[in-house]
Structure 1
């Protein structure tokens, strides 16, 4: 048997001989939700003491166990482990460095029991917490997709199209706070208010759009239409 095949054979044997279950203490310590990419989570949970993940909408991902606390996640093409960050004493899901001897980065912090991401707060109609979360993301990374003006506008129009007008207004209000120099966000907010029947707030926001860009034709047409009445 050639050495490389022999190595592969013993590698497979070693994996298969690893106990798939995990200790009660380990399960209690690592079960939870870990913040991934600012506004997404990796959920870590167990079934029959076997570690499973939900990530990017994929449920029941079953990592391959290498050691007591080291796993390989083929969907990520990463080895992961769980460690306490000495700087903040918080638990993290950690991607193990691919290069031997490289410094460990504490990648994904475990969320508190009732802590949600901004998009989750938004889904639950908790707009104040959602706004605070989005502002924090923007302050840290203004180019993050979670606070992208067009993406947020699309969410607002999604709810507007479903006739979920109060939710659409709140989403577009968040976008206006995040992007106060954009005529488009106030134009969209004006449209949502107009659809709600609140003409006064619609005009207020269309005028804000015109103050930013006097060439905004839709805003100008709406304002002129109601000024004539």
Structure 2
């Protein structure tokens, strides 16, 4: 009897192991990076035919396989569904908590990056294009909030990454050209770089938009004393 039980459990284990495996066709179609949101990636990859996910810096996340195309990801508390038509993408299974919203994550093209990834790679031109693209699609997207980009810029500035600070402030100006604060921030970065010409020019631009910008006024008076 004990031997029969051992055999039974071995069979269950084998079935469990084999059920987590995926076909070569599925692996080929689904391996890649998916846009979780406008500036964040969910990466799908496989090890020994078992589906794994990298998300928010954590690698080796193994969702529970429900069937050949549906997996439960406890980190999201969601069932993710791989859809092959018209093009491969991921959807979240419908549930009450979604309040009727359909969540889809598009598969990214090879070489495609998020705005932050372009920026960190110092590809500032494509970073700017990517940020502007987000704004055109969704002007309220958190990834392009003026205050978030401004804080990011000052974090770079405080850590002496002056080039990155200047470039993120420039992107913020492209997104919000009528904001006095964006020019004031860029001027601060030029001032720390000891580029007084560009610092003065941007403080003046900030004041032309908002004459009551105290930061710009104070710094400009110090740079251009009477």
| TM-score in terms of structure 1 length | 0.85
2:136 aligned to 133, 136, 139, which one? Answer: 139
Could you say what the CA RMSD is over the residues aligned between the two structures, in angstroms?
A: 2.2
TM superposition shift of 1:118: 0.5
- Structure 1 runs of 4+ with >6 Å offset: none
Alignment of 1:109 with 2:106, yes or no, is yes
| Aligned twin of 2:147 | 150
2:125 aligned to 101, 123, 128, which one? Answer: 128
TM superposition shift of 1:35: 0.6
Q: What is the CA deviation profile of residues 134-178 of structure 1, one whole-angstrom value per residue up to 9, with x for unaligned ones?
A: 111111111111001111011111111111111110011101111
Q: Distance in 1 between matches of 2:85 and 2:140?
A: 27
TM superposition shift of 1:16: 4.0
Q: Distance in 1 between matches of 2:30 and 2:17?
A: 23
- Structure 1: give runs of 5+ residues left out of the alignment: 1-11
Q: How does 1:1-229 map to 2 (within 5 A)?
A: 16=16, 19-86=19-86, 90-98=87-95, 105=102, 107-228=104-225
Identify which range, 140-149 or 104-113, moves more after superposition: 104-113
Residues 18, 67 of structure 1: 8 Å contact kept? no
Q: Distance in 1 between matches of 2:122 and 2:215?
A: 29
Residues 21, 50 of structure 2: 8 Å contact kept? yes
Residues 18, 66 of structure 1: 8 Å contact kept? no
Q: What is the CA deviation profile of residues 4-57 of structure 1, one whole-angstrom value per residue up to 9, with x for unaligned ones?
A: xxxxxxxx99x9486111111111110000011111010001111110111223
Residues 92, 106 of structure 1: 8 Å contact kept? no
Residues 83, 91 of structure 1: 8 Å contact kept? yes
Three-state SS of the structure 2 residue aligned to 1:33 is strand
TM superposition shift of 1:96: 2.0
Residues 69, 83 of structure 2: 8 Å contact kept? no
